[in-house]
Amino acid sequence: MSTTTIELAVRDAIARVKDPEIPVVTIGDLGVIEHVIVSGDAIEITLLPTFVGCPALDVIRADVERAAREAAPDTTITVRFTLSIPWTTDRITDAGREALRSFGIAPPGEPRLLQIAVPCPNCGSRDTVLESAFGPTACRTIRYCNACRNPFEGFKPKGER
Amino acid sequence: MSAEPRLALLLALADDELVMGHRLSEWTGWVPYVEEDLAMSSIAQDEIGHARALYEIASAIDGRDPDALALGRDAGDYTHAVVCERPNRDYAYTAARHYLYDTADDVRLDALKGSTFKELAEVVRVLRIEEGYHLEHARAWFERLATGPVDARQRFGDALSDALPEAMALFEPLPGEDAMTSDGTMPASNEEQLTRWLGIIGADLERVGLERVLETGSEEDIGEVLPTSSGASEVSGERKPLRVPGLERRDGRWVHAGSFSGAGGRTGHHSEDFDVLWREMTDLYRAHPGARW
């Protein structure tokens, strides 16, 4: 296989790795894959953590390494996280946003504007409020829908200030 | 420049975050309502994650791996500020320290985002995004308790008074700081950052009528906030002379004057509270050297 073929195969394989905490969303859709660099039989994969203290990072690293190895068996694979570029919720694809919604997690609104109402993932109403910026995982908030009277989780909007 | 001052800076920042995170994690399962339990736990997780990111940079200078830096040092080698190691006490103290710590952290991260130490500046850029949520949370509790019913206001004011002198020592100068301010590793010295921070918390406390926290410490009846026609707050009672060590009001501003009353943390001098915390925090690491989890 050529370098380009290997790179595309690895990119495709690791993009399909699921987020261990939100298993309907792939890490490709979350936009955490920063680089896949193939040189000879060495493959270097660089990922961006969604949240710095996310305990799923080690699981994601192991899953990415396994997926890359299956796609390119006789290579040396290095997977690392970098903080040299901030991950923001702008990087989530439309498919990722739809997957979050289908899982019952409201996709993020404007970065940094936590208080702005996001549509309820259950009934679609915009009559919702932020209950708490902190939810069951680092990347989620707790919100409440006044229309269908259900609490729901929202993805925490993240952007530079 | 020699790497040691930069290592001292990284370890001070990382140790603050680790020990603060450890203390906040002690609330997990104990907060009276679930949203706040999640908030404390989530902030604790963030702080420990931030510590790890900083230990990773430190590791490249020091040679020891990040886990060894976080959990494998003797108690006297930790250089967090003493205020971080104090027990949580009640929610008033937890909220007071949370407000003082996160406003201080915001000032120093704002200063360090322009550091010439590239790896640090990059990480700080990411940490600032997440610290923004902590700051909002701390400020929400500040507003709620400082303007709340008289008992909440009294206890919160007392707790702020207790925590303030030691919180000022978050800005205790670091060993080798002069070299770092001259080469741009620290675009602002700790003393300059302290001045900025005192300006911020001084304005907050005066706005809610809790300037007594800065003036007299905790032995004073803080009083209720009384609404006035002008919208300003009035507080009953007479002013007492300044009592918080190292703090003075000059030309309408709160300024640092003299020594730090809660100092020592940056040179590894801690209270007995840290012995207890250190033993618990490092117990597993010491019992099973080299274990992975």
Q: Which of A32, A115, A129, A134 to mutate to test the interface with B (most CBs of B within 10 A)?
A: A134
Distance separating the N- and C-terminal Cα atoms of chain A? 44
Q: Which of A51, A52, A60, A155 to mutate to test the interface with B (most CBs of B within 10 A)?
A: A52
Question: Which residue's structure tokens are 């999640």?
Answer: B38
CA distance A132 to A153: 10
Q: pLDDT at position B261, please? A: 81
CB-based contacts of A42, cutoff 8 Å, min separation 6: A75, A76, A78
Q: Which residues of A touch B128 (CB under 8 A)?
A: 160-161
Q: pLDDT at position B164, please? A: 94
Cα Rg of chain B, angstroms? 19
B224 has pLDDT over 80: no
- pLDDT-derived band of residue B222, with 50, 70 and 90 as boundaries? low
Q: pLDDT at position B243, please? A: 56
Q: How many CA atoms lie within 13 A of B139 on its CB side?
A: 13
pLDDT in tens, A37-95: 999 999 999 999 999 999 999 999 999 999 999 999 999 999 999 999 999 999 999 99
What average pLDDT is seen over chain B? 90
Contact flag B38-A161 (C-beta cutoff 8 Å): no
Question: CB of A15 within 8 Å of any CB in chain B?
Answer: no
Contact flag A52-B128 (C-beta cutoff 8 Å): no
Laid out side by side, the sheet with A42-47 consists of A33-39, A42-47, A76-81
Q: pLDDT at position B174, please? A: 95
pTM: 0.92
Question: Which residue's structure tokens are 């500020």?
Answer: B81
Question: CB of A159 within 8 Å of any CB in chain B?
Answer: yes
- pLDDT-derived band of residue B219, with 50, 70 and 90 as boundaries? low
A107 has pLDDT over 90: yes
The predicted complex's ipTM stands at 0.92
What mean pLDDT comes out for the span B80-85? 98
B218 has pLDDT over 60: no
Q: Which domains occur in chain A, in start order?
A: 3-81 (3.30.300.130), 104-155 (no CATH)
What mean pLDDT comes out for the span B46-60? 97
Question: Smallest Cβ distance to B45: which of A133, A138, A160?
Answer: A138
- pLDDT-derived band of residue B217, with 50, 70 and 90 as boundaries? low
pLDDT in tens, A15-31: 999 999 999 999 999 99
Nearest-CA distance B153 → chain A (Å): 23
CA distances from A128 to A89, A150, B256 (A): 20, 10, 45
Fold annotation for B4-287: Ferritin (1.20.1260)
Helix (H, G, I), strand (E, B) or coil at B203: helix
- pLDDT-derived band of residue B258, with 50, 70 and 90 as boundaries? confident
B240 has pLDDT over 60: no
Q: Where are the domains of chain B?
A: 4-287
What mean pLDDT comes out for the span B248-265? 85
CB A77 within 8 Å of CB A65: yes
Q: Cα A131 to the chain's mean position, in Å?
A: 23
Question: CB of A53 within 8 Å of any CB in chain B?
Answer: yes
Q: Which of B55, B133, B141, B293 to mutate to test the interface with A (most CBs of A within 10 A)?
A: B133
Question: Smallest Cβ distance to B50: which of A52, A131, A161?
Answer: A52
Q: Which residues of A touch B35 (CB under 8 A)?
A: 131-132, 134, 142
CA distance A136 to B35: 9
Q: pLDDT at position B242, please? A: 43
